[in-house]
């Protein structure tokens, strides 16, 4: 009897399921008039769920303020969110689902390069404007001449440029970096970062050599092998791209194994909001080069930005971070385009995005750059050519800007060379 019941219920599910998805998806929503709907593809679950949270915070925070400031010519923005589960095929399915809804006039997403690379061609296919958010891989911007896919934040090309500038600056101030090492998780992010730095060594005039290049399986219980190799190779500068637990483990084991190599912490793991709580002063003197650091707000000296940052902290319980800023910028750029567009329709918004030229705008109020203008460059289309990746160093849990000069407050706080563990004990 029990079995029959279960079987019945499940058959009903099947019938319902098949019908429901066909029928329900087929019905057009009744037009509601006022709010302007923007579709979001974000990783709400899966391996990058944590970053998805920051992404959504950024979008929501921006939308709240845009609406408070009068919305788009009086009409409020409304986000329609779909979970990509951190998987490209799910992201693609959800993108198509949202693209079917005629009321959704633009899309934003999706944090990870993998998902963004899949939805970008779909944006072109369905002729719906897409603001790629935070993804750094250039694959999503190399789709040829189009008016639908835009990105305000840095891509791989920009990271190459800004790394080169940073190393050049180090050479100019008398502390050149001749040997580098990379330690990276074996994901897309890790591999492309390693490739980029290898290219820097091979092609630029800096004369740098890569002495160690170590891929690491993510979620390792133990990084001692890698750290011992780092010790032996003894580069001037190590680039470490790790996620989640691994970043915390790395900081701890660097001390355990007495490895004094100066390193740059990149990747999601080092940008966790409670990173300092977990590793404490082990993180002192860590270098960084990335989209954004909290110190930039001080550096920019804009009281409104400081106000907003404080409000963000009150709302979410922790400070802003780089993903939040990427989302904020993307949302504001989109809103600006909508205000200029001839009508609130996909084609018109796409045309308006093409003409974007923002300077000193709320869109970049947090950013280390103050201009957004899309152009074609080095094989990419509709990339913001004015983005930047500044460098910083961490002291007592706070990042302090060290490069470029216009973001440095007072005397440059850079401590180089980085003190050894023994020297730190003595301090």
End-to-end Cα, the chain, rounded Å: 75
Chain residues 103-132 in contact with other proteins, contact rule CB under 8 A: 113-114, 117-118, 121, 125
Which parts of 248-287 interact with other proteins (CB under 8 A)? 248-249, 252-253, 255-258, 272-274, 278, 280, 282
Q: For other proteins, give the closer residue by CB, 133 or 272.
A: 272
Which of 41, 63, 66, 81 binds other proteins (CB under 8 A)? It is: 81
Contacts with other proteins, 28-47, as mask; x by CB under 8 A = ----------------xx-x
Question: Dihedral sign, CA of 58, 294, 300, 200?
Answer: negative
Which of 29, 89, 342, 359 touches other proteins (CB under 8 A)? 89
CA distance 407 to 404: 6
Contact window for other proteins (CB under 8 A) among 21-29, 292-300, 330-338, 343-351? 21-29
State the minimum distance, in angstroms, from the CB of residue 6 to other proteins: 6
Single residue of 18, 70, 315, 396 touching other proteins by CB under 8 A: 18
Residues 132-161 that bind other proteins (CB under 8 A): 137, 139
Least separation in angstroms between residue 136's CB and other proteins is 12
Shortest Cβ distance from residue 316 to other proteins (Å)? Answer: 13
Binder to other proteins among 35, 176, 244, 397 (CB under 8 A)?
Answer: 244
Out of 232, 304, 307, 423, the residue judged to bind other proteins by CB under 8 A: 232
User: Which run of H or of E encompasses 251?
Assistant: helix 244-256
Lookup: tokens for 220: 């390792």
CA distance 168 to 175: 10
User: Residue 427 carries which DSSP code?
Assistant: -
Number of residues that bind other proteins (CB under 8 A): 82
Question: Which of 96, 357, 406, 423: binder of other proteins (CB under 8 A)?
Answer: 96
**What b-and-e string marks burial along 262-275, b requiring 16 or more CB atoms within 10 Å of the CB?**
bbbbbbbbbbbbeb
Residue in the block written with tokens 């000069």: 405
* Spatial distance between the Cα atoms of 357 and 243, rounded to a whole number of angstroms: 35
Q: With binding defined as CB under 8 A, does residue 423 bind other proteins?
A: no
Which strands make up the sheet holding 380-384, listed edge to edge?
A: 77-83, 36-42, 104-110, 130-133, 149-151, 380-384, 371-377, 357-359
Q: Which stretch binds other proteins (CB under 8 A): 10-18, 69-77, 355-363, 403-411?
A: 10-18
Based on the shown chain and the rule CB under 8 A, indicate whether residue 88 belongs to the binding site for other proteins: yes
Task: Work out which of 57, 133, 182, 187 binds other proteins, going by CB under 8 A.
Answer: 187
Q: Is 427 in the site for other proteins (CB under 8 A)?
A: no
Position among 67, 146, 220, 412 found at the interface with other proteins (CB under 8 A): 220
Q: Report the distance separating Cα 120 and Cα 34, nearest Å.
A: 28
Instruction: Name which of 240 and 297 has its Cβ closer to other proteins.
Output: 240
CA–CA distance, 295 with 292 (Å, rounded to integer): 9
Q: Which is nearer to other proteins, 11 or 396 (CB)?
A: 11
Dist CA 94 CA 108 (whole Å): 12
The span from the CA of 247 to the CA of 282, in Å, is 12
- Cβ 106 to other proteins shortest distance, Å: 18
Our CA dihedral for 72, 57, 394, 113, rounded to 10 degrees, sits at -90
* 214 binds other proteins per the rule CB under 8 A: yes
Stretch that binds other proteins, among 145-153, 170-178, 210-218, 301-309 (CB under 8 A): 210-218
Q: Which residue, 119 or 208, is less far from other proteins as judged by CB?
A: 119
Instruction: Outline where 301-366 has alpha helix (H).
Output: 303-316, 322-340, 346-354
Can you tell me which of 25, 102, 306, 307 binds other proteins, judged by CB under 8 A?
25
The phi and psi torsions of 190 (rounded to 5 degrees) equal: -60, -50
How far apart are CB 204 and other proteins at their closest, in Å?
Answer: 22
- For other proteins, which is the closer residue by CB, 112 or 329? 112
Region 50-79 residues binding other proteins, contact defined as CB under 8 A:
50, 53
Cβ-proximal residues to 66 (8 Å cutoff; 6+ apart), any chain? 72, 77, 331, 332, 335
Please tell me the distance from the alpha carbon of residue 46 to that of residue 358, in angstroms, as a whole number.
35
Comparing CB distances to other proteins, the nearer of 91 and 129 is 91
User: Which of 170-178, 216-224, 355-363, 397-405 is the region at the interface with other proteins (rule: CB under 8 A)?
Assistant: 216-224
* Token digits of residue 265: 């912490």
């Amino acid at each position: 009897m029990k079995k029959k019941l279960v079987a019945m219920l499940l058959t009903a599910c099947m019938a319902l399921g098949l019908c429901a998805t066909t029928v329900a998806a087929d019905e057009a929503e009744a037009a509601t008039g006022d709010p302007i709907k923007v579709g979001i593809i974000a990783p709400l679950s899966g391996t990058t769920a944590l970053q998805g949270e920051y992404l959504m915070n950024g979008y929501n925070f921006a939308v709240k303020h845009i609406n408070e400031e009068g919305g788009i010519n009086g009409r409020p923005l409304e986000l329609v969110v779909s979970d990509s589960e951190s998987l490209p095929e799910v992201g693609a399915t959800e993108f198509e689902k949202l693209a079917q809804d005629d009321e959704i006039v633009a899309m934003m997403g999706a944090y990870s390069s993998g998902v963004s690379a899949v939805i970008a061609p779909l944006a072109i296919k369905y002729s719906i404007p897409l603001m790629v958010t935070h993804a750094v891989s250039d694959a999503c911007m190399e789709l040829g001449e189009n008016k639908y896919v835009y990105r305000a934040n840095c891509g791989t090309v920009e990271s190459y440029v800004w790394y080169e500038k940073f190393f050049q600056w180090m050479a100019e101030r008398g502390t050149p970096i001749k040997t580098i090492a990379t330690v990276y998780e074996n994901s897309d992010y890790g591999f492309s970062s390693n490739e980029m730095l290898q290219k820097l060594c091979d092609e630029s005039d800096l004369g740098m050599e890569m002495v160690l290049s170590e891929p690491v399986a993510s979620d390792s219980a133990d990084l001692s092998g890698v750290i011992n190799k780092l010790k032996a190779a003894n580069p001037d500068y190590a680039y470490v791209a790790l996620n989640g637990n691994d970043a915390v483990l790395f900081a701890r084991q660097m001390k355990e194994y007495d490895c004094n190599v100066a390193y740059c912490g990149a990747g999601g793991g080092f940008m966790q909001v409670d990173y300092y709580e977990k590793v404490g002063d082990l993180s002192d003197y860590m270098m960084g080069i990335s989209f954004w650091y909290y110190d930039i707000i001080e550096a920019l000296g804009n009281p409104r930005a400081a106000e907003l940052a404080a409000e963000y902290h009150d709302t979410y319980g922790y400070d802003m971070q780089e993903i939040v800023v990427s989302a904020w910028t993307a949302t504001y750029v989109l809103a600006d385009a909508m205000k200029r567009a001839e009508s609130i329709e996909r084609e018109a918004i796409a045309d308006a995005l093409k003409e974007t030229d923002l300077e000193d705008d709320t869109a970049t109020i947090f950013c280390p750059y103050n201009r957004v203008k899309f152009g074609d460059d080095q094989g990419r289309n509709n990339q913001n050519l004015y983005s930047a990746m500044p460098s910083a160093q961490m002291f007592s849990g706070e990042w302090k800007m060290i490069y470029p000069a216009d973001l440095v407050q007072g005397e440059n706080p850079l401590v180089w060379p980085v003190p050894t563990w023994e020297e730190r004990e003595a301090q």
